[in-house]
Amino acid sequence: MQHWDNYWQKTKTLNSFAEGEQGLGYAGDIARFWQQIFTTLQPNASILDLATGNGGLAVLALQTNDRFVVTATDKANIAPLQLFSRQDASYKYLKKIQFFGNMPSERLTFAAAEFDMVISQFGFEYAEPAATLQQLYRILTPVGKAVALVHHADSFISLDCQVGLAVLPVFTAADGLLAKAQAFAIFCKPLQQFTDLSAQQQQLLKQHSNLLLSAFMATQQLFSGDKLDWFNVMAKDLVPALSNWRCLSEDTITTLVHNLTDFKQRLTDQLAASWNTAQIKHIQKIAEQQGFVVSVATLDSAEGKLCWVFKLAKKVKENNDTGEYINN
């Protein structure tokens, strides 16, 4: 969980894997999907955003209707209000959300029937499904519903994630680029005390820095297309660090190693959490056995398959098996 704690506490983003402009909140197909779901709710509905991260989906709910009462949980130690401030557009919404970090979906501490709707964007699937479903059944009102957008094993996101994982070892392997950068930092350290380098020191520095540059370029040339994009993303903090040997330190490279190791762990989690057809059928069965009526569909976008749409409603008791499900 440390990799998620670090990510949410140190990255000023509302959503995972979406820094910069993208990290300001959900937009496009995902936002449209949820806005439509939110229109089905009463104006003052109580909503729980499960595995919320820094609250991207919870914020979207309040942007759609600021009368919703929104709670948000995550197993990670989240603290979004420490990253965002008054100047940020999302701040006024984040302030209205009750966040509970260190709360796994399998162990929600809320009272029974507390929520009209549970929502989750790429979060439900990270927890153990049977225990989580049990919790949802308990905390939803009798007519409450849960809607989760869940990673699909064949989505373009999962495929892209696999590409990222294939590229990462060129940085993190024992003889990878970061190990070479660390050796260069160690070499540079004693030279940093000199204002002017001797001719011999300059020549040695040039040799070492050329060796590193050649290794970097030779590795970069191994890739094209999506792999090259990933390589460049992963190299984005390394290149500026190496460009100034006087300021380069072992600690700087160690931080980059930690960041990429955390990144690898998040990508690995994401792939492990992606459901294939057999898995979603299995989880559907568990949900039905626990008393839910389940609807499963896929959501596509211009880039291809985006995710599963997993919807749950409690079976209506008088109605025996069939239950009632509003298809929204």
Rule CB under 6 A: which residues touch ligand SAM? 4, 15-16, 51-53, 56-57, 74-76, 104-106, 121-123, 126-127
Rounded-to-integer distance, Cα 26 and Cα 39, Å = 17
Shortest Cβ 249–ligand SAM spacing (Å): 30
CB of 185 to ligand SAM, least distance (A): 32
Cβ closer to ligand SAM: 6 or 182?
6
Closest approach, Cβ 277 to ligand SAM, in A, equals 21
- Distance of alpha carbon 253 from alpha carbon 97, whole angstroms: 37
Between 153 and 204, CB nearer to ligand SAM: 153
Nearer to ligand SAM, 46 or 274 (CB): 274
Smallest distance from ligand SAM to CB 201, Å: 48
CB of 131 to ligand SAM, least distance (A): 9
DSSP for 233-294 reads HHHTTHHHHHT-TTT--HHHHHHHHHHHHHHHHHHHHHHHH-B-HHHHHHHHHHHHHTTEEE
**CB contact set of 89 (below 8 Å; sequence gap of 6+):** 24
Task: Output helix, strand, coil percentages for the chain, rounded to the nearest 5.
Answer: 50, 15, 35
User: 28 and 51 in contact (C-beta within 8 Å)?
Assistant: no
Q: Could you give phi then psi for residue 147, rounded to 5 degrees?
A: -135, 130
| Of residues 180 and 311, the one with the C-beta less far from ligand SAM | 311
- Looking at the Cβ atoms of 3 and 314, the one nearer to ligand SAM is 3
**Closest CB to ligand SAM among residues 161, 293:** 161
Q: Which among 163, 125, 167 has a CA at the least distance from the CA of 146?
A: 125
Q: For residues 57 and 38, give the distance between their C-alpha atoms in angstroms, rounded to a whole number.
A: 11
Q: Taking the complex as a whole, how short is the minimal distance between the CB of residue 128 and ligand SAM, in angstroms?
A: 7
- Residues 268-289 as b/e (b if ≥16 CB within 10 A, e otherwise) read ebbeebbbeeeebeebbeebbe
Q: Which of the 8 DSSP states describes residue 316?
A: P
CB of residue 18 to ligand SAM, shortest distance in Å: 7
Nearer residue to ligand SAM within complex by CB, 116 or 125: 125
Instruction: Judge whether 241 and 256 are in contact, CB under 8 Å.
Output: yes
Residue 124 or 292 having the CB closest to ligand SAM: 124
- Which residue has the closest beta carbon to ligand SAM? 53
Which residues, 6 or more positions from 220, have their beta carbon under 8 angstroms from its beta carbon? Answer: 228, 231, 232, 235
* Minimum distance, C-beta of residue 179 to ligand SAM, in the bound complex (Å): 29
